[in-house]
Amino acid sequence: MRHAVVTGGAGFLGSHLVDDLLEDDYRVTVLDNYGSGRPENLAHLQTADIAIENHDVREPFPAFDDVDIVYHLASRASPEDFGTHAVEIALTNSEGTKNALECAREYGARSIIASTSEVYGNPEEHPQTETYHGNVNIRGPRAPYDESKRFSEALAVAYERKYGMDIRTVRIFNTYGPRMRPNDGRVIPNFLSQALSGDDLTVYGDGSQTRSFCYVSDLIDGIRAFADAPGGMAAGNVVNLGNTNEITIRELAEIVLEVVDTASEITYRELPEDDPEVRRPDISRAQAMLDWEPTVSLQTGLERTVPYFENQLNPQLASDSSSK
């Protein structure tokens, strides 16, 4: 069986990727220190084809018998963590990326490095293409995440050039779905948690800032398509993966109020420092290279996500509702 190592495999995106790999007959080793990942995200997997190791990627990886591909997804990605876990985040995306690349180099494995749309900062180019170099405040509150992700890409390119490795980088735009933590701090978990609890939805600024939201299954399909693409096409390349349906945060709040049966309303607070004004990917490269684009609408994706948040916030209420 092909062997995939997935760092951050107990996290939101990582656990969905693990599901997909197992369905495709991979043997999977998960490395996660449960900083933001959770054991329950993998608890449904009853198979001998998965090994789960409590491991911090800032430390050298354990030995394996063989490795075919390394997916490096480990990193806290919530704005709530940028201040409290700044050093951990910066080192996970620098030392952790180095260790992931060293593992791939030792076994002659392909590498998939999870980068982020945050490498574009508060962009002056819109939509953002892979050739845009970004506008990041390297001393701002988001810098430990944004800038360390930029460094992880630079390190990946350096390894690829020096060692001739097959390293591919995905820049992930705003993604949502089941297994996000209700207290994650990103806007969709915030809105769903508030709406389901009957609290008013908190919009920062006047809500005119824009985002493009991709449902998790679409994102995982894109990652897998890029990982499996022929080497001559994809090796050493970088692609944006995300949805191009751009909406304002105020519009998102209104959609959530439609999807969730709630008496909640919308309130406004001061905009945080360095919050990007716009965010929308140009996915032309992924379309041409991978024949990939998202298919799940925001309305449908939110409807699929709500039951998970209901269960997380009030398990008994969710159980009563599902039995009716």
pLDDT digit string, tens, across residues 156-178: 999 999 999 999 999 999 999 99
Q: Tell me if the bond preceding 39 is cis, omega within 30° of 0.
A: no
Domain ranges across the chain: 2-176+214-243+280-295
pLDDT digits (tens, 9 = 90+) for 104-134: 999 999 999 999 999 999 999 999 999 999 9
Residue 315 is predicted with a pLDDT of 72
In the chain, where do the E strands start and end?
A: 2-7, 26-32, 50-54, 69-72, 110-116, 167-172, 175-176, 201-204, 210-212, 214-215, 238-241, 246-248, 266-269
* Ranges in the chain, pLDDT < 50: 316, 318, 320-324
| pLDDT for the residue 316 | 47
Q: Which value, to the nearest 10 degrees, does the dihedral of the CA atoms of residues 176, 181, 187, 192 take?
A: 90
Q: 2-176+214-243+280-295, what's its fold?
A: Rossmann fold (3.40.50)
Give the pLDDT confidence score for residue 232 in this predicted structure: 86
pLDDT of res. 322: 46
Kindly list the catalytic residues. 145
pTM of the shown model: 0.95
